[in-house]
Structure 1
Amino acid sequence: MRPAVEPPDRVRDLLARMTVEEKVAQLQSIWVGVDEGGGVAPHQHDMAVEPVDFDASIKHGIGQLTRAFGTRPVEPNLGARAVARSQRQIMEANRFGIPAMVHEECLTGLTAWQATIFPSPLCWGATFDPVLVEHMGAAIGQTMRTAGVHQGLAPVLDVVRDLRWGRVEETIGEDPFLVGLIGGAYVRGLESAGVVATLKHFAGYSSSRAGRNFGPVSIGPRELADVLLPPFEAALKDGARSVMNAYTDNDGVPAAADESLLTQRLRDEYGFDGTVVADYFAISFLQTLHGIAQTAADAAGLALRAGIDVELPTVNCYGEPLLAAIDAGTVDIGLIDRAVSRVLTQKWQLGLLDDDYSPEPDGPVDLDPAASRALALDLARQSIVLLQNDILPLSPGARLAVIGPRADERHAVMGCYSFPVHVGVHHPDVPLGVSAPTVVEALSNDYTVTYAQGCPVLGGDDAGIAEAVAAAEDADCCVVVLGDRTGMFGAGTSGEGCDVADLRLPGRQEELLEAVLGTGKPVVLVLLVGRPYEISRQADRLAAILCGFLPGEEGSTALADVLSGRVDPSGRLPVSFPRTGAGHPSTYLAPSLGRRTDVSSVDPTPLFPFGHGLGYTPVTWLDADCSPSWPTDGVCRLSVTLRNDHDRPATEVVQVYLHDPVAEVVRPVQQLIACSRVTLPPGGTTRVDFDLHADLTCYTGLSGRRQVDPGTVELRIGRSSVDMVSTLSLELTGPRRYVGFDRVLRPTQVAMPIA
């Protein structure tokens, strides 16, 4: 893979010799077999997507092939050969032999039949482990390259603002620092394999009103700059080479037509030189949903001027409508050349313009190798969050009643962008494609298990709940597995287009839980969910609560490992659990008046806060110290010392929050600026050193620029956003500084065992 540089001679030569039709073809994509794929994109059927005349579509070349693996079940080796065959046809059809880029979804691994299903992004956030997530990204990227795929449509860097939004499960969390840290790690991994990472969704998508998908966004410039944009900035610095626009409008301007966002900010301010690709049908939506374009040609012109280079997933606006607009003089050919230059430069980086390029697969294609399954298991284990505990680990030989709609369902551990949920549900006769044990199966390896569903995720009857009660009464302990049915556009309770009006558990699940609690038997609640739910009515009567945010194909095995005590739970919440629905939407990033006050009767205090998580072997915090002053252009060294007093390894996540008591504008009470996942050996002591640059204190002031202010600040160090162990006051010294895209976004840190 070549580095990003100025367009090479090869690109300039091609541009000089290409016709307008050949240039425009490089901005297009085609979606073969889409009629078989079911509803995997918004308004897919409304867009009149029809079977593709492949030969006619590629006569001038083509920019991208859409989802050759992720549209229908395709045997991997046959799929790789089919991609190679299509590439040969494309190369032979156009005068310059330019192949297409092939893109796929890869949010929980490559969205393809028989590919590893990794834990969902909320699980990545729960690990607080960028190293492990980077390894996962590299594994996903290597798998994609063996199949002939060049671009992955991930990660999602939207910061959670409203838990009712269906796409919460696709996000990494509610904190911009954590999202940038973990999302950037995924980008580094994917890009290390030579696959183009695509940042989604730029920008503001997660701030839609009432958490409704595609809903209008009405946020201020500071929320955009200080909450929503930092993860994108971090991931761009980590090497992401593509960006995808958000569907939503912000204050009346759709992102797909926002030149100030996609060009002035992204290109001019951030220096981004990669490609901007349209979210599926987003250019058409400028006409059909947003109502700011009268024709498809108008929509094409708006998107090109804003900075969208490639129309996905198929040709609607960047085809005949765009050519007609060029002929009419309403679209400047310079905009075409600008976009084509970016597309061809990216193809050159990928080696697609080399004279010796061959699309043939190197060998057999295995999309779920043993190493990837092992990595999926490690990540699932680290992501499980123990929220509350009076009973775990379970006693050996216990008789368990395993109850609930998610207890014996293979899809229960899978997000909406996993292949079985995203595509497989439209092909019920096709096997799952990977091994994914259920919670019942995983626990049966260690315990005597009686299973009762009780009720499905939605619906059910009294007889089912009575059966569950009977099973509970005959057991030593009950493991109740509740949660979401992931799906798309209303087909589930979580996932794209599956927004909710409140945060009560779906269907009759809360009623089922109450009935089992009524038996008097100890109850362990296991949540397999795409968002936190309101469980405060039952929490104080539960013996333990475990949360697994859709932990992938090895998720049930990981849950059994934690429940049995083979693995110490070590995940931490990337999103807060609400105490009451009335207190939502709210995140821990609230300012003072966004928290509990005596001027409102609504208390937004969470039941379980951001960063919370328990283990079986608590770590002893010894001390924390730092220098008393901190130059506004320099670094503060913070040291935290931990000790493990147990005879087994212990894990802690050290979290460092900044509190700025006086600022030019209203600020969050505290905000995460550093964290470190630390595993201590039995009896071991470890010191964690953070070098915190003053840029980490910056915020957007009255001038609209990010600034670092002198004055007193506090570093709050602890186990979560509310469980603080140490508070250190220090002085930022020196003049106010204004910082830009080149600011330091992360601390450097070292964890060192000490005697």
Structure 2
Amino acid sequence: MVHPWQDITLPAAERAADLLARMTAREKIAQLYGVWPGSDAQEQTGDVAPLQHEVAEHVDLEALLPHGLGQLTRPFGTAPVEPAEGAARLAAFQERVRAANRFGLPALAHEECLTGFTAWQAAVFPTPLAWGASFDPALVGRMAESIGASMRAVGVHQGLAPVLDVVRDPRWGRTEESIGEDPYLVATIGTAYVQGLQAAGIVATLKHFAGYAASRGARNHAPVSIGPRELADVVLPPFEMAVRDGGARSVMPAYNDLDGLPAHAHRALLTGLLREEWGFTGTVVSDYFGVSFLESAHGVTDSRAGAAALALAAGVDVELPAVRCFGAGDAPRDVVDRAALRVLTQKCELGLLDPGWTAAVPAGPVDLDPPHMRLLARELAEESVVLLARTGGALPLAHDARIAVVGPLADDPAAMLGCYTFPRHVGVEHPELPMGVTVPTLLRALRSELPAASFVADPADAEVCVVVAGDRSGLFGRGTSGEGCDAADLELPDGQGELIDRALASGTPTILVLLTGRPYALGRWADRLAGVVQAFFPGEEGGGAVAGVLSGRVNPSGRLPVSVPRGPAGQPWTYLAPPLGQRGEASSLDPTPLFPFGHGLSYTTFAWEVAPVPAELPTDGETTVRVTVTNTGDRPGTEVVQLYLHDPVGRVARPVVRLVGYARVPLPPGGSAEVHATFHADLASYTASDGLRVVEPGALELRVAASSATVHHRVPLTLTGPERVVGHERRMRCETKVK
């Protein structure tokens, strides 16, 4: 007999409801947690914070599995495993799970995938800050789809990415995991990642919901005390777009509290906003040990059963990475049923409830770093490199130059990799094993790029000196960038500034190459360097990408997703400041960045023309800005047209400018293209003092710009008609086309 839950012609929610009605209370609870085989209370992994050690426990699988299992945690990302062997092990474990429970249900397997599938021998892509620097959602979407396909091929169902935290203070260690300091850039790039990953059949998980990057002092796991309008207008829009436009199927709450209320117990956030206002229908999965932290870190309950009750009532559906709180007491039946229905519905959508489901086992070798993925990694790395400064003709490097390449990161593959890459996340705990993927260093790539050049050790003997400086990613204090590696200031770490000073003292023209996870203060050397090239952990193909920019083979087209400060103190440096956050006579401190958000140079030149735009626009209308861009130089290049909004008068203090649209425009020498940017009045909406999001009549200015501070044309607009209150249905994108 085929029960309704086994009938693949029925809607997923109907099938899940039928199965739920057949389950015992214990079987329902079993769908709401994960297990982490091989972790052994985290003794084999080095990615654990001190608080996590306090709540990690051994799990008796034999006692758990007869009731079923909701999630399987990181079967590939816990320890190095050869891909084909890992797929076979996962399939065998799934058969064990299915055989043990009376419905034959498998677990849903999840992995990290922030810079690619976080598995040994898997392709390593640029870090998310580099995605932001590319200003290329389409390419990020292609990358995500390729990552998802590789995960799906070995039996994984869910990816814990993307990170949609908007950078508020770049001293925060997880800046490298974020896309940038502008909510529109984060929203559009992040949504493209969601769409790509889910097109491959992998559930995307938005994190960290919400406010994680806005802690005071940029400390990890720290409280967040921001106002409701900053939350609504800066922090939340990327999540809203990824849910509404991207169709994201999972959300992960943040570790922080918001004004004293932990996100994992925040019903207004996880249910009121996410589900009731935004219409989200997927699953909410806890950050690792986030439910336990309600007891051990936040102190809002005194028991694991109490933590479970708070989290379930707020809207958390799944406890990760392993069971500790869920099932520890008698949670109300209605919240358990609600969560279990969501989990079963998602499993049904993934095909895990279908009759005859079996875990796929690859027939032959598994290549997680195939040529097409390396090509994508190279393309994204090349698009993300930012040329910050260039004087005196030292760049591009002469092909027969005598070059000194100095610095601790010049010949170190780790310089290319962020903290959520497998080699830096797990591989550091297994020094006996090879890295698993080929990662050329910058020095090696430069030698290949410039075979006629000679390389010397002493800057004084060279025609040009390349200083390679930056970060070494790590976790919880074991690096200069990464989770738990927060910085006291934005001075280059480990005394690398002295290395730049010595190179400059030699009198040789000096180019600074930065391989970092955050921006660093460069004002000390700004007027003395012959060039500055910024790359944000550009991945396995990053060495070749940076070398290509230095040689001139690649014409740089990256743009800053975060501002670069002049001095190391005076936080925050984000460009989204109202007038009082700008330079003024009332303070002796000048917060103006050295290089602004959106900045980036090219080896060619561009001319811009803007067609006339009607002066008036209804508060519910739209207009199209037409920008003609011409490559006036002698080599191919890509300009990034950026559209900013300036609202001179509002009910509350507003950012002086904020990004509302952008487009990459690749052009041959002498070539022209026209960018059509459709601006809807909804993009001028903001949260007023009464908490309502409004579009109000009055004067606006659109700024057609090459950066937030480099404006080519100003387009005055007057919004006419009645004030409008807008919500979840509003237009969030400026649609752009390049013709």
The alpha-carbon distance between structure 1 residues 362 and 123, as it changes in their structure 2 partners (threshold 3 A), is same
**SS of residue paired to 2:608:** strand
What secondary structure, in the 3-state scheme, does the structure 1 residue paired with 2:641 have? strand
Q: Deviations for 1:332-382, whole angstroms, at most 9, x for unmatched residues?
A: 100000000000000000000000211022444211111000000000000
Distance 2:670 2:18 in 1: 66
Alignment partners' CA distance in 2, 1:14 and 1:451: 70
1:98 aligns with 2:85: no
- 2:334 maps to amino acid: G
TM-superposition CA deviations, 1:16-48 (whole Å, max 9, x none)? 111111000000100011135322233375235
> Which residue of structure 2 aligns with residue 156 of structure 1?
163
More divergent stretch after superposition (6-15 vs 57-66): 6-15
**1:422 matches 2:425:** yes
Shift of 1:579: 1.0
Which of 253, 270, 276 matches 1:268?
276
Please give the secondary structure, in 2, of the residue aligned with 1:58.
helix
Q: Given that residues 32 and 51 in structure 1 are in contact (C-alpha distance below 8 angstroms), is that contact kept between their aligned partners in structure 2?
A: no
Deviation per CA, 1:410-429: give whole Å up to 9, x if none. 11000000000000000000
Matched, 1:404 2:407: yes
Root-mean-square deviation (CA, aligned residues, Å) is: 1.5
Equivalent positions of 1:352-363 (< 5 A) are 352-363=352-363
Structure 1 Cα separation of the partners of residues 473 and 519 of structure 2: 14
In the TM superposition, residue 624 of structure 1 has moved relative to its aligned partner by: 4.2
| 1:26 alignment partner AA | Q
- CA deviation after TM superposition for structure 1 residue 631, in Å: 1.4
Given that residues 84 and 362 in structure 2 are in contact (C-alpha distance below 8 angstroms), is that contact kept between their aligned partners in structure 1?
no
Do structure 1's residue 8 and structure 2's residue 9 form an aligned pair?
Answer: no
> Is the aligned partner of 1:231 residue 2:233?
no
- 2:467, 2:513 within 8 Å by CA — same for their partners in 1? yes
Counterpart residue number, 1:556: 543
1:3–1:349 contact (8 Å) kept in structure 2: no
Distance 1:113 1:624 in 2: 52
Provide the C-alpha distance between the structure 2 equivalents of 1:5 and 1:513, rounded to a whole number of angstroms. 66
Contact 2:446 2:547 in 1 (8 A): yes
Partner of 1:434: 437
What secondary structure sits across from 2:54 in the alignment?
A: coil
Out of 701, 706, 714, the residue aligned to residue 701 of structure 2 is 714
* 1:51-76 alpha-carbon deviations (Å, 9 max, x no partner): 54333331211000000000000100
Distance 1:186 1:354 in 2: 28
In 2, Cα distance between equivalents of 1:4 and 1:183: 33
Deviations 1:192-245 (A, max 9, x none): 001000000000000001000011111000000000000001111211100000
| In 1: Cα distance, 2:11 partner to 2:231 partner | 30
Aligned match of 2:3: none
Q: Which residue of 1 is the match for residue 4 of structure 2?
A: none
Aligned positions of 1:532-611 closer than 5 A: 532-611=519-598
Q: Does 1:332 align with 2:319?
A: no
- Is 1:30–1:57's contact at 8 Å kept on the other side of the alignment? no
Unpaired segments of 5 or more residues in structure 1?
Answer: 453-470
How far apart are the structure 1 equivalents of 2:553 and 2:664?
20
Residues in 1 aligned to 2:703 and 2:55: alpha-carbon distance in whole angstroms:
55
Maintained 8 Å contact 1:586/1:604: yes
Distance apart, 1:625 and its partner CA: 3.1
Counterpart for residue 461 of structure 1: none
Contact in 2 for aligned 1:582/1:604 (Cα 8 Å): no
Determine the structure 1 residue equivalent to 2:604. Answer: 617
Q: Which residue of 2 aligns with 1:82?
A: 89
- State the distance in 1 between where 2:363 and 2:680 align: 47
Which amino acid counterpart does residue 209 of structure 2 have in structure 1? F
**Counterpart in the other structure of 1:371:** 372
SS at match of 2:669: coil
**CA gap 1:261/1:431 in 2 versus in 1, 3 angstroms:** same
Which one of the candidate residues 488, 507, 527 is aligned to 1:520? 507
| 1:394 corresponds to 2:381 | no
- Matched with 1:279 is 287
- Per-residue deviation, 1:12: 1.5
In the alignment, the residues of structure 2 paired with residue 451 and residue 118 of structure 1 have an alpha-carbon distance, to the nearest angstrom, of 31
* Change beyond 3 A, Cα 1:290–1:693: same
Aligned to 1:382: 383
SS of the aligned residue for 1:630 comes to strand
Q: Distance in 2 between matches of 1:174 and 1:472?
A: 36
What is the SS of the residue equivalent to 1:8? helix
Cα deviation 1:616-663 (Å, max 9, x = unaligned): 012111334322111111111111111112332221100111011111
**Partners of 2:154 and 2:362 within 8 A in 1:** no
Query: More deviation in 510-519 or 575-584?
Result: 575-584
Q: Which of 29, 45, 53 is the matching residue for 2:34?
A: 29
Q: Displacement of 1:477 after TM fit?
A: 0.9
Q: Which whole-Å CA distance do the structure 2 matches of 1:9 and 1:641 have between them?
A: 53
What are the superposed Cα offsets for residues 671-703 of structure 1, whole Å, 9 maximum, x if unpaired? 100101110122111110111111110000122
1:40-439 alignment to 2 at 5 Å?
A: 40-43=47-50, 46-237=53-244, 238-319=246-327, 321=328, 324=329, 326=330, 331-364=331-364, 365-390=366-391, 391-439=394-442
Post-superposition offset of 1:163 = 1.0
Q: Are 1:415 and 1:550, in contact at CA under 8 Å, matched by a contact in 2?
A: yes
Alpha carbons of structure 1 residues 718 and 680: separation in structure 2 relative to 1, 3 Å:
same
Number of equivalent positions? 725
The answer to whether structure 1 residue 700 and structure 2 residue 705 are counterparts is: no
> Aligned letter for 1:730?
L
- Residue by residue over 1:553-579, the C-alpha shift from the partner in whole angstroms, topping out at 9 and shown as x without a partner, is 000010111111111000000000011
Report the alpha carbon displacement of residue 14 of structure 1 after superposing the two structures with TM.
Answer: 1.2
Equivalent residue of 2:732, what SS?
coil
Picking from 507, 510, 515, the partner of 2:497 is: 510
Q: Deviation string for 1:306-325 (max 9, x for gaps)?
A: 10000000011013x1xx3x
Q: Relative to structure 2, which stretch is displaced further, 396-405 or 153-162?
A: 396-405
Q: Distance in 2 between matches of 1:671 and 1:5?
A: 46
Residue 485 of structure 1 contacts residue 492 of structure 1 at CA under 8 Å; is this kept in 2? yes
Work out the CA distance in 2 between the residues paired with 1:14 and 1:449: 70
Flag the 1:3–1:422 CA change in 2: closer, same or farther, 3 A: farther
C-alpha distance in structure 2 between counterparts of 1:632 and 1:361, whole Å: 56
Residue 459 of structure 1 is matched in structure 2 by none
Confirm whether residue 670 of structure 1 aligns to residue 657 of structure 2.
yes
- Measured after TM superposition, the shift of residue 750 of structure 1 is 1.3
Could you tell me how far apart the structure 1 residues matched to 2:9 and 2:522 are? 49
SS in 2 for 1:583: coil
Rounded to whole Å, the distance in 2 between the matches of 1:50 and 1:222 is: 40
- SS at the partner of 1:47? helix
**AA of the residue aligned to 2:667:** L
Relative to structure 1, is the Cα distance of residues 26 and 217 closer, same or farther in structure 2, using a 3 angstrom cutoff? Answer: same
Distance 1:449 1:265, change over 3 A: farther
1:588 Cα offset (Å): 0.7
Whole-angstrom CA distance in 1 between matches of 2:64 and 2:544:
46
Partner Cα distance (1:451, 1:119) in 2: 30
> Could you report, residue by residue, the CA deviation over 1:417-470 in whole angstroms, capped at 9, with x for unpaired residues?
000000000000010000100011001111545476xxxxxxxxxxxxxxxxxx
Q: TM-score, normalised by structure 2?
A: 0.96
Tell me the distance in 2 between the aligned counterparts of 1:541 and 1:438: 26
Q: 1:586 offset after TM fit, Å?
A: 2.6
Indicate if the aligned counterparts of 2:167 and 2:213 stay in contact, CA closer than 8 A: yes
> For residues 624 and 596 of structure 1, do their structure 2 counterparts lie closer, same or farther at Cα, with a shift above 3 Å needed?
farther
